[in-house]
Amino acid sequence: MTVKGIHHVSSITKEILDNHDFYTNILGLRLIKKTVNRDDTGMYHLFYGDYKGTPGTEVTFFETYHAPKFQPGTNGISRTYFRVPSMEALEFFRHRFDEKGVYHEGFVERYGFTTMIFEDEEKQRLALMIDPEDNQTKPNQTTEIPKRYAITSIGAVEITVQYLKPAMELLEMLGGQAVDEVSDDEEEAEVRIGNDSVFITEQRDSRIEKEGYGSVHHFAMRVDDEDALAALKKLLDEEKWPNSGIIDMQFFKSVYVEMAGGITLELSTAGPGVTIDEPVETLGESLSVPPEFERERHIIEAFLIPIN
C-alpha cells in the first residue's frame, strides 16, 4: 500500500473573517466545511476546496486568536502550491492580485513548473503553479473567476529541513519517489507522490521555525480507504516510526506521524468525505459540529462570529 497524493494542508489563522474573505473571494475557493476546533469549540476550523470538497483540493484553517505570529526558520512546512491549468490562468491571477493589493512575485521556474509566489494577509506562504494534468476535481466558479482560470487542487507542499535525506526517508517508505538521484551535497529534492509533489529544501540553520498564525500546522497525504491506512500504520510500526494510531476525524480516518525535523505528516483516507453530514449543494452553509459536541450546539453557536 502507498500514499496516492496530497489530501489537505492545515494552517493557523488569527483573523478568521479576513481568512474567509481571502480564500473564498480573492482565490475563489469554496467554503466546504464550517466546523469548530475540537480543542476549543469557541474557535472555528474552516475547510476550503473545490466545489464538491474533493480530497487533494482542501486547505483548512484552525482559528487561534491568541496565537503569536509565526517565526520562519528551518524544519517547517514553508509553502503550499495551488494548481492552475494554464499560463492564461496564471496571468489572470497576477492581474487580480495587482487589483486586490495582494503581495506577489514574478513568474519563475521551480522544479519544472512555472510558478508565482504570493501571500495572504497573515503572510501565509503560498504559490500558484501551472499544471494542467489535474482533471479529477470540480473547480469552484465565482462571479469574478471563470472556471477556465480557477484553482483546481493542491499540487505541492514545500518543506524546509536541516537535513535533506532523513526528510526523504519517510516519504519514500510510504511510496514517494525522488524525481532525480540525490547526492550527499544536494540541497534540494522533489519527491513525487502520485501526481503531486513534496519539494524539500535543506537549510542547515540553527533558527528553527516557530509555529503561529501564518504558518502551516501539518500536511496530509491521501490513502484509498481504512484498509490501506491500517496497512501503512502496520508498516510504520514495523519500521519503528512513532505514530498516533488510527483516529476518527469524522470526515476521514487519520494516522499522524512525525517526520525528521519534527514536521507533522498526516495520512488520511479519501472518505467518507465532507458530504457525510450535508449535501454538496449546501456545503459550508451550516455549522457542522463534531458528534461528541452536538448536545452543546446551541452554546457553541452563541459564541461564534457568524460567517456567511
- Tell me: the pLDDT tens digits for 153-209? 999 999 999 999 999 999 999 999 999 988 888 999 999 999 999 999 999 988 999
Position 205 scores a pLDDT of 87
31 in any annotated domain = yes
Contact 209, 256 (CB under 8 A): no
**pLDDT category, 246, cuts 50, 70, 90?**
very high
User: What is the CATH classification number for the domain harbouring 267?
Assistant: 3.10.180.10
49 in any annotated domain = yes
Q: Is 1's pLDDT higher than 80?
A: no
Count of domains forming the chain = 1
The per-residue pLDDT of the chain, averaged, comes to 96
Residues 6+ apart with CB under 8 A from 162: 74, 75, 202, 203, 204, 205, 261
57 in any annotated domain = yes
308 in any annotated domain = no
Q: Is 67's pLDDT higher than 80?
A: yes
220 in any annotated domain = yes
**pLDDT category, 308, cuts 50, 70, 90?**
confident
Domain that holds residue 276: 5-303
In the block, cell 483546481 appears at: 152
Position 162 scores a pLDDT of 96
Q: Is the pTM of this model over 0.85?
A: yes
**pLDDT category, 134, cuts 50, 70, 90?**
low
